[in-house]
Chains A and B, each alone.
Chain A
Amino acid sequence: MKKNTLKKVLRYAGKYHFLIALSMVLAVVTALLSLYVPILAGNAIDRITGTGKVDFASLTATVLKMAVIVMFIALCQWVMNRTNNKITYSVVRDVREEAFSRLQNLPFNYLDNKPTGEIVSRLISDVDMFADGLLMGFGQLFTGIVTIVGTLVFMFYLNFGIAIVVVVLTPLSLLVARFVATRSFKLFKEQSEARSDQTAFVDEMIGNLSVVKAFAHEDENLEIFDDINDRLEKTSVMATFVSSLTNPSTRFINNIVYAAVALFGAFACIAGGMSVGGLTIFLSYANQYTKPFNEISGVVTELQNALACAERVFQLIEEQPEEPDFEGAPKELVAKGDVAVSDVSFSYDKSKKLIEDLNLDIKKGQRVAIVGPTGSGKTTLINLLMRFYDTDKGSISIDGYDIRKLRRSDLRANFGMVLQETWLRSGTVRDNITLGREGFSDEEIIEAAKAAHAHSFIKRLPKGYDTLITENGGNLSQGQKQLLCITRVMLHIPPMLILDEATSSIDTRTEIRIQKAFNRMMQGRTSFIVAHRLSTIREADIILVMKDGHIIEQGDHDTLLAKKGFYHELYTSQWG
């Protein structure tokens, strides 16, 4: 699984193979040259043996060489950093683009079952985490390995004995880092569990603060909060403490190595096998050498985390998309509006039957009302008509075309839809009406708003049609939001309409006006209406009475009343 994920990451990075090669070359050059600088410094120091004994000619040359190399290293480092940034940001962009484009053709079956927060966190934070961790991590890992190998080679070249001392002692540092890392990983997990408990509680209680206050539940909440808060504090202290031990303890080991190098180096100097400059080189190597080890152990945990994030992102990208549109689909269909449903069966959960053997024959311009108690499956029919879901059995056809043989976009363009759940996006009122559809003049927009009775309230907003609406229309009332959604459809009325409880949050008086507009709109158009209000659907040609997912009665108002069945019961109960 992990290997697979890694392969996929490489596929995305592969696009930038030139940059990656460049970055690797620069990493090798920088790492090796950086190791050469202390040698130059050591050589220079060796020229300073005592009063009057300084070899200036050779010293000046060495110092100048050092200055030039340092500048060159800095330049390489800068180019390398920028290259790494570029690779990382580009891969992030590519992955996001692909994930978002997948989002546009994922089946509803998937989308309806995933919380928004999850999709968002995969596309935003997971992508960031995996890019930072994997790409930057690989950079560090690579530089680290080159530095370690380079240091070893230089050290063995300079003095075999001391190099052996260093090699023998350094694993200690790794062991300590490992020890700390495994302990802190467990503690971090505990901490993040406690933290997510707290966040969930805060989210729930602050999100519904009005209810909390209405029931004067503040004190009880504070008690529960204190409990969670105490638990979080305890895990947090331990997690922070243990993880913060990594630095001091590896530094401690490093210092031991440093002391050992000083001891053996000094002995070697006294014995005449090494110069003071050589000792300085060794000391600065001893300082640097263990650093990459610590970094690598840090990188490894980060890499694991990054791989987990990458896996989540790829899961989304690789999710089975909707079946592609039928290839021989007719182009640009403008339907007349004959709808036939034949022998259709459908259910969301295949173990529970919902719609079974449904047959309907609707002629152009007819009005179909769907009624029934909450949860009886009224919106399911709409999901099927719009092809948000595909039927399990049987077929739906429009003007004789099986809707599976049409392009989805063509099918949907033939329906004007107003849903129960209003959806507004952050943007101006105008943006929300046109939804990016081009070619509508201001007059047309105002016309549509007037027809939907939205113009008068829009006019009164601070900036009229240019007023900014926050996500989900926080500054509008439920009714106003719905009027805006209706305006969208009024702007360009397709041959067929779907109105799902479109008027449930609008007061009756406004509703009458909208109803009039709707009536005009429905003139000659096939329409499907879902509503609780029986008065609004009395004029329908066909009424479908749904209960528990089944259509139990079907007919017009008078026939159904005369039948004295479920419709009759629903209807009469309105007379409180």
Chain B
Amino acid sequence: MKKLLVFLKDYRKESILGPLFKLMEASFELFVPLVIASMIDVGIAGGDRGYVIRMCLVLLLLCLVGFICAVTAQFFAARAAAGFAKKVKRALFENIQKLSYSDMDSIGTSAMITRMTSDVNQVQQGVNLTIRLLLRSPFVVFGAMVMAFTINTRMALIFLVTIILLFLVVGLIMRWSIPRYGMIQSHLDKLLGLTRENHTGVRVIRAFGLEEKEKENFNGQNNSLTSLQNHVGTITALMNPATYAILNLAVAFLIYRGALRVNAGDLTQGQVVALYNYMSQILVELIKFANLIITVTRAIASGNRIEEMLELKSSMENGSVKEFDKTPDHIVFSHVFMRYAGDSEDSLEDLDVTVRRGERIGVIGGTGSGKTTLINLIPRFYDARQGEVILDGRNIREYDLENLRERIGIVPQKAVLFHGTIRDNIRWGKNDATDDEINRALEIAQAKEIVEGKAGGLDHMVAQGGKNFSGGQKQRLTIARALVRKPEILILDDSASALDYLTDKKLREAIAAMDNPPTTFIVSQRASSVLNCDKIIVLEDGKVMGIGTNEQLLESCDTYKEIYDSQYRKEGAV
């Protein structure tokens, strides 16, 4: 949490002045019982109406100044908290964007989003309340006690004992209940998960006739949440009655002891009233303080989680080379091994192949055979564990990542579009693409008709997650997005899976017919998609089973032959 406070640096003025003004307000409040006491002892006892009026004016003045102080403090608190949250969010977003793919795998998307949203909100609230109350409440409590000491030391001891007792009770109840609130939360998360699953899996649940079982399961969890809540409630419901009882019993005792002192002559009636009023002030502030502690505990927990994420450094070091030599040997994989973090086995073993500029490379193999792993090495999403990936004559690690990725067009397995117009989406590939360039890319990607079919053409809005497009449409648009930058390397990661054979074929032909055809990697499970490639890399369980043309592989590679035959059985000889 400490390191997060750096983000308050620009709000130093607010974070110091805020509590200060709060303290001033509180001190004015502390004077009130004294004024009342002297009103009783001097004004009423002496029958002096003028004195009473003067004291009332003092009261009004005190509350007016207090009010101005409070408003100022609230403003500073709001400014500091919102500004702090803004800076934290920016830093988080910036840092998250810097993380490498392996980091992303290990953290998980939902954790990152939660940090950015609910955790930051918690911290913002925590900062806001801390500035407003963290000093004020203890100040009023202890201030009341100090004031009591100025009135009468012996009587003030009652305050001391009462305050210790109150702190003890409040502290114990909170210590008991805070971890249990965590348990309630995780029960609630379970209910939430069940509800989610029952919506996402409704077809499976009804197909297997599991409705009654699901209800039973849900009701079980639901009931156990309720009994846990009641159980925790038994103790938390003690908070108000217990503090009320302690305080008022203290008042009763105070009056009794006060009576003895007054009778003995070392205390006045007005002073007893003042002590009584100080006692009342304590309770109000203590309750506020307890609530504050809960908010602050939550905020600190959130803050620690945020801090962890801020401290993550990308596990990948950036290179510095920004010039590319364009050698004829475009990409060389030299005995490359790759293993994902936390895995015990390599996902790609000993890949050794040279890809010439402009060649078409097919990558084929089963699920989990290492196809995506292979192509992820080219834009340096991951680093090889052993061996080198050489691009234009240099180890890929020497290049500046942004410059490297700019020359590569990738069409990922999952077609993702973003909220914005079609034009905005295609321009992800090239910031300043003209409509002509965009249209050409759409043509090659077989996506022209999609855009023409939509109202507004390129200005048609894509909904969040691209919901208003079908899978095949999205895939073609993502292909256009990769093509618009006229990449030197084009990677199609199983990108035709949602396309029918006809469209897939037309797409491959159009790419081959481009002016400056890029070095193209086609990842697929279909032999038909890679048949005409200059080289086909056959993978199985991360091992390279063969590299060559369709004809060569049919002769020499059993794995390839098996895949091929399974798809061209019987008529396979055409």
* Contact A255:B66 (CB < 8 A) given known A280-B276, A435-B204, A574-B528: yes
* Contact A218:B98 (CB < 8 A) given known A44-B255, A73-B244, A252-B63: yes
Complex Cα distance A221/B63, Å? 49
> Which one of A45, A101, A270, A472 contacts B47 once the chains associate, using CB atoms below 8 Å?
A270
Residue of B nearest to A492 (CB): B208
* Contact A204:B464 (CB < 8 A) given known A48-B272, A214-B405, A575-B574: yes
Q: Give min CB distance, A203 to chain B, whole Å.
A: 6
Judge whether A202 and B567 touch: CB under 8 Å.
Answer: no
Q: Give min CB distance, B271 to chain A, whole Å.
A: 10
Interfacial chain B residues near A66, Cβ < 8 Å: 248, 251-252
Q: Is A357 an interface residue (CB 8 A)?
A: no
Judge whether B113 and A120 touch: CB under 8 Å.
Answer: no
> Which one of B40, B188, B211 contacts A276 once the chains associate, using CB atoms below 8 Å?
B40
Judge whether A512 and B566 touch: CB under 8 Å.
Answer: yes
Judge whether A202 and B264 touch: CB under 8 Å.
Answer: no
Judge whether B229 and A244 touch: CB under 8 Å.
Answer: no
- Over the window 179-217 of chain B, the binary record of Cβ atoms lying under 8 Å from chain A Cβ atoms (1 yes, 0 no) is 000000000100111111111111111111111011101
A-B contacts besides A49-B269, A207-B113, A266-B44, 16 pairs, CB < 8 Å: A47-B259, A74-B242, A89-B233, A120-B195, A202-B93, A206-B96, A225-B90, A244-B132, A252-B67, A280-B273, A284-B280, A386-B203, A419-B204, A426-B193, A479-B368, A576-B529
Judge whether B218 and A60 touch: CB under 8 Å.
Answer: no
Q: Is B393 an interface residue (CB 8 A)?
A: no
Judge whether A412 and B90 touch: CB under 8 Å.
Answer: no
- Over the window 409-448 of chain A, the binary record of Cβ atoms lying under 8 Å from chain B Cβ atoms (1 yes, 0 no) is 1001101010100010110000000011100000000000
Judge whether B86 and A232 touch: CB under 8 Å.
Answer: yes
* Contact A70:B249 (CB < 8 A) given known A258-B59, A570-B502: yes
Q: Give min CB distance, B251 to chain A, whole Å.
A: 6
Judge whether A435 and B210 touch: CB under 8 Å.
Answer: yes
- Over the window 560-572 of chain B, the binary record of Cβ atoms lying under 8 Å from chain A Cβ atoms (1 yes, 0 no) is 0011001111000
Q: Is B149 an interface residue (CB 8 A)?
A: no
Interfacial chain A residues near B223, Cβ < 8 Å: 93
Chain A: interface size category: 35 or more
Q: Is A96 an interface residue (CB 8 A)?
A: yes
Interfacial chain B residues near A211, Cβ < 8 Å: 412, 416
Interfacial chain B residues near A200, Cβ < 8 Å: 419, 464
Q: Is B277 an interface residue (CB 8 A)?
A: yes
- Over the window 126-163 of chain A, the binary record of Cβ atoms lying under 8 Å from chain B Cβ atoms (1 yes, 0 no) is 00000000000000000000000000000000000000
Q: Give min CB distance, B504 to chain A, whole Å.
A: 8
Judge whether B94 and A222 touch: CB under 8 Å.
Answer: yes
Give the interface segment out of B74-82, B152-160, B351-359, B513-521.
B74-82
Chain B binding surface, main DSSP class: helix
Complex Cα distance A287/B108, Å? 52
Residue of A nearest to B75 (CB): A241
Interfacial chain A residues near B259, Cβ < 8 Å: 44, 47-48, 54, 56, 59
Give the interface segment out of B299-307, B433-441, B452-460, B465-473.
B465-473
Q: Is B97 an interface residue (CB 8 A)?
A: yes
* Contact A45:B276 (CB < 8 A) given known A104-B214, A211-B416: yes
Complex Cα distance A451/B132, Å? 66
Q: Is B6 an interface residue (CB 8 A)?
A: no
Give the interface segment out of A4-12, A15-23, A80-88, A395-403.
A80-88
Judge whether B222 and A97 touch: CB under 8 Å.
Answer: yes
Complex Cα distance A319/B525, Å? 45
Judge whether B412 and A425 touch: CB under 8 Å.
Answer: no
Q: Give min CB distance, B548 to chain A, whole Å.
A: 18
Judge whether A251 and B67 touch: CB under 8 Å.
Answer: yes
Judge whether A573 and B44 touch: CB under 8 Å.
Answer: no
Residue of A nearest to B216 (CB): A436
Q: How many A-B pairs fall under 8 Å by CB?
A: 431
Interfacial chain B residues near A280, Cβ < 8 Å: 273, 276
Complex Cα distance A214/B402, Å? 9
Q: Is B552 an interface residue (CB 8 A)?
A: no
Complex Cα distance A240/B132, Å? 12
Residue of A nearest to B237 (CB): A81
* Contact A89:B367 (CB < 8 A) given known A211-B412, A256-B63, A575-B528: no
Q: Give min CB distance, B54 to chain A, whole Å.
A: 11
Q: Is B172 an interface residue (CB 8 A)?
A: no
Q: Is A569 an interface residue (CB 8 A)?
A: yes
Residue of B nearest to A44 (CB): B255
Interfacial chain B residues near A247, Cβ < 8 Å: 70
Interfacial chain A residues near B567, Cβ < 8 Å: 508, 533, 535
Complex Cα distance A472/B499, Å? 25
Give the interface segment out of A327-335, A337-345, A499-507.
A499-507
Q: Which of B40, B208, B381 has the most CB of A within 10 A?
A: B208
Q: Is A71 an interface residue (CB 8 A)?
A: yes
- Over the window 193-212 of chain A, the binary record of Cβ atoms lying under 8 Å from chain B Cβ atoms (1 yes, 0 no) is 00000111011111111111
Q: Is A105 an interface residue (CB 8 A)?
A: yes
B-facing residues in A241-292 (Cβ within 8 Å): 241, 244-245, 247-249, 251-252, 255-256, 258-260, 262-263, 266-267, 269-270, 276, 279-280, 283-284, 287
* Contact A570:B500 (CB < 8 A) given known A262-B36, A270-B44, A535-B569: yes
Q: Is B101 an interface residue (CB 8 A)?
A: yes
Judge whether B56 and A70 touch: CB under 8 Å.
Answer: no
Judge whether B82 and A255 touch: CB under 8 Å.
Answer: no
Q: Give min CB distance, B478 to chain A, whole Å.
A: 8
Complex Cα distance A266/B56, Å? 10
Residue of B nearest to A407 (CB): B209
30 contacts between A and B (CB under 8 A): A41-B252, A45-B273, A48-B262, A56-B263, A59-B259, A77-B244, A100-B219, A100-B222, A101-B215, A123-B195, A209-B112, A214-B408, A229-B90, A236-B82, A248-B70, A258-B59, A259-B60, A262-B56, A263-B52, A267-B49, A270-B52, A280-B276, A283-B277, A373-B472, A374-B498, A386-B206, A412-B209, A471-B193, A508-B567, A570-B502
Judge whether B204 and A218 touch: CB under 8 Å.
Answer: no
Interfacial chain A residues near B315, Cβ < 8 Å: none
Interfacial chain B residues near A222, Cβ < 8 Å: 90, 93-94, 97
> Which one of B49, B198, B255 contacts A45 once the chains associate, using CB atoms below 8 Å?
B255
Q: Is A50 an interface residue (CB 8 A)?
A: yes
Q: Is A550 an interface residue (CB 8 A)?
A: no
Interfacial chain B residues near A218, Cβ < 8 Å: 97-98
Q: Give min CB distance, B86 to chain A, whole Å.
A: 4
Q: Is B505 an interface residue (CB 8 A)?
A: yes
Complex Cα distance A93/B206, Å? 24
Interfacial chain A residues near B225, Cβ < 8 Å: 93
> Which one of B108, B218, B244 contacts A70 once the chains associate, using CB atoms below 8 Å?
B244
